[in-house]
Amino acid sequence: MVGTGFSVPELESIAKGLRRDIIEMTYVASSGHPGGSLSEIDLLTALYFGILDIDPNEPDRSDRDRFILSKSHASPGLYAVLSKRGFFPHEELTSFRAIESRLQGHAHVMTPGVDMSGGSLGQGLSFGVGCALAAKLGSEAYRTYVLIGDGECDEGQVWEAAMSEDHYHLDNLTAIIDRNGIQNDRFTSDVMKLEPLADKWKAFGWRVIETDGHDMEQIICAVGEAQSYTAGPSVIIAKTVKGKGVSFMENNPAFHGSPPNKEQYDKALIELN
Amino acid sequence: MAITFSTASTREVYGRTLVELGKQNRDIVVLGGDLNKSTFTHLFAEEFPDRFFDFGPAEQNIMGVAAGLAASGKIPFVSTFAVFGMCRPFDQVRVSISQPALNVKIVCTHAGLLTGEDGMSAQGIEDLSLACSLPSFNVVAPADSIETSQAITAASKTHGPFYIRLYRPATPVVHDESYQFKLGRADLLRNGSDMTIITIGPMAAQGLEAAEIMAEKGVHCRVVNLHSLRPIDEEAIVDAAIHTGAIVTAEEHLLHGGLSSVVSQTLALRAPTPMEVVGLQGYAESGKPAQLFEKYKIATTNIVDAVDRVMERKRN
């Protein structure tokens, strides 16, 4: 047990089921972003089943914790975890990206449990500043978590937001970077040099916590450490593997924005059994 | 016969109105980007320092923060110059604010050629077009300081995103204190039966001047202040077409996507009518506003010429 009601093996089992959902959704939709959904899903599982104070029966409760998926293209992971948590029926997942569906290609607030409409990179951290400032203004105890892609850190707005979080001492906000090392076209190191990433965040006034983004116990400890830090905002740099859990998708830039074909779909589900 | 108007600053009235609204509603918060004396939001900052947030000139971030505040139950007013509040962070306004239709009020000062000497980069002449391309936005350009105060108050009490356009210099006051602004309802400034001049923003005064000049020539112009481009008062446009038979629009904004586009679309769909337009064709340059209005053909005399042309078309 990690103090969350779920044991580490239980969380791992949930995450494995959500990986199957991600494969199913992107295969049925014949589009979507499986790679970054698979890299983030352990982080999302830990948050939604171990950390966030939320209520599927009252998704808009004003004192709920906020979760902002800034890398909004990785919506299959978010939809999978929201459904598993009871925000909407599991059967709805296969409507992903279809006409008349609540599950848009990029996350939108029309989906129960989605806190921000995204789809254009770099905007989530600023939105999180707004949520965190509102909490401070109302003396509310809720916390705001923002998941950012590593390639997303190429966006200048991320750093505008980073500066302002420190300026306004937003210790009620935690950023998490899904450091999977791959962005749309290629490896992040080939597209734009991000390293030394931790030093950049430190220079912007953030407490930096580095962790393994696939290790439930480490993720929950890292978030706990971020929660207890009160001198300013914290960022968790979570080392992850793009496509994690499906051998031929792992570390493969081809699966950033491409769904599995039938053969790949069958193979992936066998691996995730 | 020239008409004499008193003048008043729309941005200063905005700042004072915000303070009054801030006293009434604790959910109102104000965000700025290092131009707070220019936008007069410093008055709010002095009165309510805990509800005022400066982010420096980082407009992308400001729009995102405003979205987060609105999604958390606050009523954020964001103020900077038109070029920095609509042109620069357009994508953030589109995705973070417009698509989820959040309750953010973007009130920009220093719009249009009235910005003058700062030159083309500072002259927001495409902001209304951009704002009108955001389907969830209410879009308002008040004619004067009296309308500004009421439009700001209406925006604070109407849920949903707003873009409100204000100006650097003091502009003519065309209303008296008895005026009552209604969002989406055009304002009849002067009645007339021969044709209608439809204006937006401070062009109202020039529309009235042109009508006065035309009256001396025996042409009786209706003058309509179309302060809201969304919601649009289609009935007022159609009524003007049916009852006066000719239209001139006047704006200190690009012709593409502003007042003339909205009016001509309404006329084309509902009441095809001879129409002439006064507005900008492209970028301008540094200079005094009056010089710019003359060179770029949006002065009162250009409205008069447009009325002459449209009356000629109506007669033929």
Beta strand pairing status for B228-230 and B138-140?
antiparallel
**How does pLDDT run across A8-35, given as a tens digit for each residue?**
999 999 999 999 999 999 999 999 999 9
Handedness of CA A85, A88, A89, A92 (dihedral sign): negative
Sort out which chain A residues have CB atoms less than 8 A from B76's CB and list them.
130
A160, pLDDT greater than 70: yes
Of chain B residues 190-209, which have a CB less than 8 A from chain A?
A: none
Give all domains of chain B, ordered by start, each with its CATH number. 7-172 (3.40.50.970), 187-315 (3.40.50.920)
Rounded to an integer, what distance in angstroms lies between the CA atom of residue B271 and that of residue B237? 9
Catalytic residue among B46, B47, B59, B147, which? B59
Closest Cα to residue A70, out of A40, A101, A32? A40
A1, pLDDT greater than 70: no
Rounded to an integer, what distance in angstroms lies between the CA atom of residue B122 and that of residue B85? 11
User: What is the predicted pLDDT for the residue at B316?
Assistant: 87
Q: Which residues pair with B52 in a beta bridge?
A: B30
Instruction: Give me the domain span that covers residue A233.
Output: 8-271
Sort out which chain B residues have CB atoms less than 8 A from A165's CB and list them.
none
The pTM (predicted TM-score) of the whole model is: 0.96
Task: Assess if residue A95 is contained within a domain.
Answer: yes
Rounded to an integer, what distance in angstroms lies between the CA atom of residue A21 and that of residue A44? 14
Q: Which residue of B has its CA nearest to A162?
A: B61
Sort out which chain A residues have CB atoms less than 8 A from B69's CB and list them.
130-131, 133-134
Q: Which residue of B has its CA nearest to A164?
A: B55
Chain centroid to Cα B286, Å, comes to 21
Task: Assess if residue A1 is contained within a domain.
Answer: no
Q: For testing the chain B interface, which of A67, A111, A123 should be mutated: the one with the most B CBs within 10 Å?
A: A123
Task: Assess if residue A200 is contained within a domain.
Answer: yes
B35, pLDDT greater than 60: yes
Task: Assess if residue A174 is contained within a domain.
Answer: yes
Please confirm, yes or no, whether B20 is among the known catalytic residues.
no
**How does pLDDT run across A173-195, given as a tens digit for each residue?**
999 999 999 999 999 999 999 99
User: What is the predicted pLDDT for the residue at A2?
Assistant: 45
Q: For testing the chain B interface, which of A60, A117, A158 should be mutated: the one with the most B CBs within 10 Å?
A: A117
Of chain A residues 5-34, which have a CB less than 8 A from chain B?
A: none
Overall number of domains in chain A: 1
Task: Assess if residue A3 is contained within a domain.
Answer: no
Task: Assess if residue A2 is contained within a domain.
Answer: no
Q: Which residues have CB under 8 Å from A269's CB, separation 6+? A: A20, A23, A24
Task: Assess if residue A196 is contained within a domain.
Answer: yes
Instruction: Identify the CATH number of the domain in which residue A229 sits.
Output: 3.40.50.970
**How does pLDDT run across B47-85, given as a tens digit for each residue?**
999 999 999 999 999 999 999 999 999 999 999 999 999
- Whether ipTM > 0.90 holds is yes
Closest Cα to residue A256, out of A18, A31, A24? A31
Q: What's the mean pLDDT in B83-99?
A: 98
The band of A4, judged by pLDDT with boundaries at 50, 70 and 90, is low
Closest Cα to residue A116, out of A99, A139, A92, A132? A132
